[in-house]
Chains A and B, each alone.
Chain A
Amino acid sequence: MTHANSLYGPLDDVAANAGHLQHPPQMGFFTDTSVCIGCKACEVACKEWNLVPEDGLDLLGMSYDNTGMLGANTWRHVAFIEQAVPLSGQQTGLAGLPTGPTATEATAEVVAERLRHAERGGAELGTTPLHTDDIDRTDRAAQDLGMPGFTRPGDGHGAEGRTDFRWLMESDVCKHCTHAGCLDVCPTGALFRTEFGTVVVQQDICNGCGYCVSGCPYGVIDRSPLDGKAHKCTLCYDRLHDGLEPACAKACPTQSIQFGKVDELRERANQRVAALHAEGVAEARLYGADPDDGVGGTGAFFLLLDEPEVYGLPPDPVVPTRDAAAMWRAAGAAAAAFLAAGAASFLRSRR
C-alpha cells in the first residue's frame, strides 16, 4: 500500500498507489491550445452532460471570455488572450490592412475596476456575475470595449497605429494531478482516486468543509453556494465506465481536447511540440506533462503558446503535501515547547 513517492515525486502507477489492485490504464486529457478555436463547445457539452447549473450570464469585458475561471459550476473554461504579436509560422497579410491597436488595454481597465469590487477578488466569477451597481457612477458611463464597432478598426489613424495580432485560446480544466492537493487534504474521503487515476468528489459524502478549495495549487475546485458542496471536473467518470470519452472531448470540433491513455497522450504531445517547433512555432511548450514537476505530473496537460501565467495557470505549482513532514515536525516542536512552558509555569510558582 505504501509506495515510494506516495506523497511527492514521480509515480508510475497512480491508481495502484491509491489501492486499486486491478485497474484500467490512467486516462486523461491532452489539450492542444494551438488548434483551439475558442468555440466553447466543451463548456456547453460539459454543462449539458453533467447537469452543471448555470452560473451567471454576464459580459466580463475580457475579450470573448465571459466565463472567468474554473469553479464549482464551471468545469471547462475557455480563456481568450489578445496579444499584439503575430501568430508564429503564419503570414497574416496585416501589413496591407488598416488595423489599429488592440482593445486589450481598454478591456483590461474595465476588468480591473470590476475585480476591485469583487468580494473574492474575481475568483467567484465562475459562479456569480459581478453587478454593475457595485461600480462607481463615473465608471458606469459608456466604456468602449472596442467591439462591436461600426467603424473599421484603424479608421481614425494611419499605418503608424497598426500592430500585429494574435489570439491565444485555451480550454482549461481540472488537472487530475498525480499528487492532488485537494484529495490529500479532504477530511471525509469524499475526494477519491478512481481506477482511471482521476480525482472525483463523491457528492453524497462531501460536507463542504472547503479545505480542498485552499489545497488546490491551480485554483480549480470550489464550493458551490447552491448546495454547499465542492464540485469540479470528474473527467466524466460515468462516461468512462461505459467506455465513452468525456463530453468536452467528444464535442471538441478541432481535437484541441484529446482524451486517452496518459502515456499515449504524452507521446503524442511530444510529437506535436516537435512538429510545431519544426514549423517555426518556437514558443510551443508543454505544461503539466513532466512527472518530475511539483505535482508529479498531471493527468490533464496542455500545449501552450506562451508562459502559463498568461493563461491564468501557476508557473510552478507544488502540492502542499510535499512539506507535510516538515510542517508536522515544526508543529511537534511547538507542541513540546507549549507543554514545557505549562510545566515550567507550575514549577516556578511552587509555594
Chain B
Amino acid sequence: MSGLGTEPPGPMATRDHNPTGNGRTRWHGPRSRRGNNGHRELPMMPDAEFRSYYGRPVLKPPVWEWKVPAYLFTGGLAAGCSVLGAGADLTGRSALRRAGRVAALGALLVSVALLIADLGRPERFHLMLRVAKPTSPMSVGTWILTAFGPGVGLAAATELLPAHWRRSVIGRLLGRLARPAGLSSAAIAPGVASYTAVLLSHTAAPGWHEARGQLPFVFTGSAASSSGGLAMILTPVDEAAPARWFATYGAISELAASRLLQRRLGLVRQAYTTGRAHRLRSFSEALTTAGLTGTVLAGRRHRAVAVASGLALLTGSALQRFGVFEAGVASTKDPKYVIVPQRERRAGRGTPDAGRGTAPAHY
C-alpha cells in the first residue's frame, strides 16, 4: 500500500478469493510484464499498489509518430550546422563553412517536411502562422523556425550558386548577404536547438513533464554532438577542429544531462529504464561515448576515424531523441505514472478529501 494508506481496513481486505473487491486492483501485474519480456533490463523497482479504471490509461498517448522525434533530431542538426557555418565563415574555413551552411539547409528542409507530414491536416500547416502564442511552445517554435529559415536559406544559396552566376547581380547580392544571413541564423540557432525540449515538457505526459529541468541540456548537447559529427564527416580534418570541439562539448553535455535526468526522476524513471526507451537510450549512450572517444583520441589525425566517430555521434544523437520520445509515450500508457505520483502529491499536501478517515465501518 505504499503511497496510498488511505484505504480503511474492511472485511474485504481479508478475503483472498476476491482481491479485486472494493475496486482495489493490482493492475501492474499483467501490464508491467509487457515491458519486461525477456529483454535485458535494469532490475525493476517494486511496483506501488494503486487503483485504476480497468488498468486503462488516464492520459491519451501522443498521436505523434516517428516524424516528431525525427524532427527533434534534424532540427537540432540544422541549428548546430548553422552555428558551425557562421563560425567557419568568420574564421575563414571555407570547407567547414560550406558544409555547415549546406547541411543546415538540408536538415531544415527535412525538418519542415517532417513537421508538416505529422499534422492531421497537412494542407493546413500555414494556419500555424495565424497567431503568435507564448503559452504554446509549438507556436513559439513555429516563429523561431520562421526567423531561422531565411538566414539559413540565403547562406546556403550562396554556397550552392553555380560559378557562372556569381558575377550576376543576384550573385553579387547573395555574396554580400551571405555573412549577415548566416550570422542571423546562428543567433537564432540556440532557440531552435532548445525549444524542442519545452515542446515535449509542456505536456501532461509525466515522462516529459518531470524531465523539464534537464531535457533542454540533453537536447542542445545532442544538437551540438550531431552537427559536430556531421561536419567531421564532411570536412577535411585540418579544417574540422571547431567541429571536433563542438561535438566534444555536445557529447559530454548530452551524456551528463542524460544521466542526471534519469537520476532526478521519481517513479517515472521506470519509463526511461525499461522497454524500448531504455534500449534506445542505452544504444545512444554507447554510440555517443564511442564517438566522443574517437573524436578526442584520433579525430584530428585520421579522416577515417573522424568519419566513423561522426557517424557514431549522429546515430547516438538520433537514438537519444527517439529514446526520450518513447519514454514519454510509455509514461502515458501505464496509468501508474499518473496515479501514484499524483496520489503522493495530494497526500503530502494534506488536501481535505471527503470520505477519508470518516468512512463507515463497512467501507
Contact = CB atoms under 8 A, between A and B. Distances in A.
Interface of A: 7, 62, 68-69, 71, 79, 81, 83-86, 88, 101-102, 104-105, 107-109, 111-113, 115-116, 120-123, 125, 161, 163-164, 168, 181, 184-190, 205-211, 213-224, 227-230, 273, 277, 280, 282-286, 306-307, 309-317, 320-321, 323-324, 326-328, 330-339, 341-346, 348-350
B270 interface: no
Contact of A314 (B58, B125, B242): B58
23 contacts: A84-B18, A85-B12, A88-B360, A101-B17, A116-B30, A185-B138, A187-B131, A213-B62, A214-B62, A217-B204, A219-B59, A227-B121, A277-B354, A309-B343, A315-B339, A315-B346, A320-B204, A323-B212, A324-B202, A330-B198, A331-B198, A332-B194, A348-B241
Contact of A188 (B15, B131, B353): B131
Contact of A348 (B124, B197, B245, B334): B245
A93 B176 CA distance: 91
A83 B197 CA distance: 43
A112 B27 contact: yes
B193 A105 contact: no
Contacts, number: 352
Contact of A282 (B50, B242, B355): B355
Contacts of A184: 135-136
Contacts of B243: 345
A7 B133 CA distance: 13
Interface stretch (B162-170, B216-224, B279-287): B216-224
Given A312-B52, A333-B216, A344-B245, A85 B60 contact: no
B55 interface: yes
Give the size range of B's interface with the partner.
Answer: 35 or more
A309 B51 CA distance: 6
A216 B21 CA distance: 31
Given A211-B138, A346-B88, 4 more contacts: A185-B203, A214-B60, A218-B58, A312-B56
Interface stretch (B102-110, B147-155, B246-254, B311-319): B246-254
A169 to B, nearest CB: 12
Contact of A104 (B20, B31, B224, B351): B20
Contacts of A116: 30-31, 34
A286 B353 CA distance: 8
B362 A112 contact: no
Contacts of B342: 314-317
Contacts of A102: 18, 21
Contacts of B193: 334-335, 338
Contacts of A211: 136, 138, 203
Contacts of B220: 334-335, 337-338
A85 B204 contact: no
Contacts of A187: 128, 131, 133, 136, 138-139, 142
Contact of A123 (B12, B61, B136, B142): B61
B246 A345 contact: yes
B301 to A, nearest CB: 15
B175 interface: no
B66 interface: no
A335 B190 contact: yes
Nearest to B131: A189
**Is the contact region of chain B dominated by helix, strand, or loop, or is it mixed?**
helix
A302 to B, nearest CB: 12
B344 to A, nearest CB: 9
A331 B52 contact: no
Residue from the set B83, B87, B194, B359 with the largest chain A CB neighbour count within 10 Å: B194
A113 B27 CA distance: 12
A331 to B, nearest CB: 4
B86 to A, nearest CB: 8
B92 to A, nearest CB: 9
A164 to B, nearest CB: 7
Contacts of B358: 282
Contacts of A186: 133, 136
B323 interface: no
B213 interface: yes
Interface string B81-95: 001100110110000
Contacts of A208: 119-121, 124
B124 A219 contact: no
A246 to B, nearest CB: 23
Interface in B1-28: 6, 10, 12, 15, 17-23, 25, 27
A188 B198 contact: no
Interface string B226-238: 0010000000000
B205 interface: yes
Contacts of B189: 338-339, 342
A73 B250 CA distance: 45
A349 B360 CA distance: 75
A217 B59 contact: yes
B272 interface: no
Contacts of A84: 12, 18, 21-22
A309 B119 contact: no
Contacts of B345: 316
A341 B216 CA distance: 15
B261 to A, nearest CB: 11
A307 B6 contact: yes
Contacts of A330: 197-198, 212-217
Contacts of B137: 185
B333 interface: yes
Contact of B55 (A101, A112, A228): A112
Contacts of B62: 210, 213-214
A214 B205 contact: yes
B99 interface: no
Nearest to B56: A122
Given A337-B217, A341-B246, A345-B242, A309 B20 contact: no
Contact of B202 (A220, A273, A283, A320): A320
A101 B87 CA distance: 74
Nearest to B336: A309
